[in-house]
Amino acid sequence: MTFDIKFVLTMRSALDAAVEKIDVSCRTPGTKAKMAQRIVKAASEGVTNAAELMIAAIDEAKEPAD
């Protein structure tokens, strides 16, 4: 799936906002990568709303990466 640049920026903003909402101790590169993957997955399934993408990323961070 291909995303246009405007939507890529929306996904990036959703990721940045989501990272700010999780505990500082969970803000590892691995957890952030998992969150980004979740955003891309949700987007590929048709989610385009930034708030919904952010919620999906936060949900993914409930189990931080090792």
The predicted structure's pLDDT at residue 60? 95
- Alpha-carbon distance of 57 to 8, in angstroms, equals 15
Domain residue extents for the chain: 5-60
pLDDT digit string (tens) for 9-65? 999 999 999 999 999 999 999 999 999 999 999 999 999 999 999 999 999 999 878
Q: What is the DSSP string of 36-59?
A: HHHHHHHHHTT---HHHHHHHHHH
pLDDT at residue 66 greater than cutoff 80: no
What global pTM score does this model have?
0.92
Question: 39 to each of 32, 63, how far by Cα in Å?
Answer: 11, 15
